[in-house]
C-alpha cells in the first residue's frame, strides 16, 4: 500500500496542522477531527484547553525552526500548513521571515519524512490585482498578480510548493483562501467570503485530493462570483453550500484601505 493509499484508507490517519490553534485552525478543528487524528502545532498554547476528545494533540513549537518542524512531523500522513502572519500591511522583510522562510522549513521537513500529502493555505491576495469587475470571476489559472507583500509571499510559497511536488512526488494542494474565520462586516468582502462550514468542506476535499499539484480559490458559493472556484469543485470535489448574499443586508460600508486588494472606489461603498 502506498502512502497516498494509506492516507485515504486508514481509519485514523494523522494530520499535522501548523498554526493549528489560530483563527483558521479553530474554524477547521470540528470538521477535521471527525476524520483524522490531529496534531495541532502552534508557537503558543492558549490557556483554554483544546476541546476534549480522543485523537487531538496540541504541541507548542516554532514551526519555523527546522529541528522543531522535523520533530512535529514525525509519523504524519498529511500536513495542513496554516501558520503565517496574515497582515496585508507588513513589510517584505516581515513576510519573508514569518511566511516564506517558514514555508520552506515546512516543505523541507515534510520531504525528510516523506509525507505524501500537503495542503498549504495561500490567499486571494496572491491574485489581488485582478479583484476588479473586468476580471470577475478571477480564474486561478491567470498569472499571479499580488496586491501587497503578503500576497507576494503567498506567490513565492506556491512556487516552492510546486517545486516540492515535482521533486518529491508528494501530492500538494494550495488553497487561496478568501475571508475566513471573520465576521462579514463589510459589503466589499461579500465576493470573497468563506463560511466556516464551507472552510471545513474545502479542506477535507483538499486533504483527500490525489492531484500531483494544484492551486485553487477557496470561497463559498457566493452570488457575487468574484473568484472562480470551478477547479476546486471539479478537481478537489469541493461542494460549497453557503452564499454571502444571505448576509448582504447586514454588511456595512468599507472601513478604509486594505492594500490594493480593493481599488480606491471600494472605500466608500
- DSSP result, 140-189: TTSPP--SSHHHHHHHHHHHHHHHHHHHH--EEEEEEE-EESS---BGGG
Cell of 38: 490531529
Structural domain boundaries enclosing 10: 3-268
Can you give the CATH number for the domain in which 177 is found? 3.40.50.720
pLDDT value of position 268: 38
| pTM given for the model | 0.93
Give the whole-angstrom CA distance, residue 208 versus residue 97.
Answer: 30
Strand, helix or coil at 53? Answer: coil
Strand, helix or coil at 105? Answer: helix
User: Could you give the C-alpha distances from 116 to 81, 175, 210, in angstroms and in order?
Assistant: 14, 17, 10
Question: Would you name the residues annotated as active-site residues?
Answer: 150
What is the pLDDT tens value at each position of the chain, 269 positions in all? 344 444 444 578 999 999 999 999 999 999 999 999 999 999 988 766 566 567 999 999 999 999 999 999 999 999 999 999 999 999 999 999 999 999 999 999 999 999 999 999 999 999 999 999 999 999 999 999 999 999 999 999 999 999 999 999 999 999 999 999 999 999 999 999 999 999 999 999 999 999 999 999 999 999 999 999 999 999 999 999 999 999 999 999 998 889 999 986 554 34
How many domains does one find in the chain?
1
163 Cβ contact list (under 8 Å, min separation 6): none
pLDDT value of position 8: 45
Query: Is residue 24 a contact partner of residue 84, using CB atoms and an 8 Å limit?
Result: no
Query: Is residue 111 a contact partner of residue 151, using CB atoms and an 8 Å limit?
Result: no
Alpha carbon 235 to chain centroid, angstroms: 17
- If we measure between CA atoms, which residue out of 230, 171, 180 comes closest to residue 206? 171
Residues, the chain, total?
269
Amino acid at each position: 500500500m502506498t502512502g497516498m493509499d494509506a492516507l485515504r484508507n486508514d481509519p485514523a490517519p494523522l494530520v499535522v496542522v501548523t498554526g493549528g490553534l489560530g483563527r483558521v485552525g479553530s474554524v477547521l478543528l470540528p470538521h477535521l477531527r471527525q476524520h483524522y487524528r490531529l496534531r495541532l502545532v502552534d508557537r503558543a498554547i492558549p490557556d483554554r484547553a483544546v476541546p476534549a476528545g480522543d485523537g487531538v494533540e496540541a504541541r507548542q513549537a516554532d514551526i519555523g525552526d527546522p529541528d522543531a518542524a522535523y520533530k512535529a512531523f514525525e509519523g504524519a500522513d498529511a500536513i495542513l500548513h496554516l501558520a503565517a502572519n496574515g497582515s496585508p500591511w507588513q513589510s517584505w522583510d516581515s513576510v519573508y521571515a514569518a511566511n516564506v522562510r517558514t514555508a520552506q522549513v515546512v516543505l523541507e521537513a515534510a520531504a525528510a519524512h516523506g509525507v505524501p500529502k500537503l495542503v498549504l493555505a495561500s490567499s486571494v491576495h496572491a491574485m489581488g490585482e485582478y479583484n476588479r469587475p473586468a476580471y470577475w470571476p478571477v480564474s486561478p489559472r491567470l498569472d499571479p498578480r499580488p496586491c501587497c507583500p503578503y500576497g507576494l509571499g503567498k506567490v513565492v510559497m506556491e512556487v516552492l510548493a510546486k517545486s516540492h511536488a515535482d521533486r518529491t512526488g508528494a501530492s500538494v494542494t494550495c488553497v487561496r483562501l478568501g475571508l475566513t474565520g471573520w465576521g462579514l462586516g463589510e459589503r466589499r468582502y461579500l465576493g470573497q467570503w468563506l463560511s466556516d462550514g464551507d472552510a471545513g468542506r474545502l479542506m477535507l476535499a483538499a486533504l483527500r485530493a490525489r492531484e500531483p499539484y494544484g492551486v485553487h480559490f477557496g470561497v463559498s458559493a457566493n452570488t457575487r462570483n468574484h473568484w472562480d472556484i470551478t477547479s476546486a469543485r471539479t478537481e478537489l470535489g469541493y461542494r460549497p453550500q453557503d452564499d454571502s448574499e444571505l448576509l448582504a443586508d447586514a454588511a456595512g460600508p468599507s472601513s478604509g484601505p486594505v492594500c490594493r486588494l480593493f481599488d480606491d472606489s471600494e472605500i466608500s461603498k
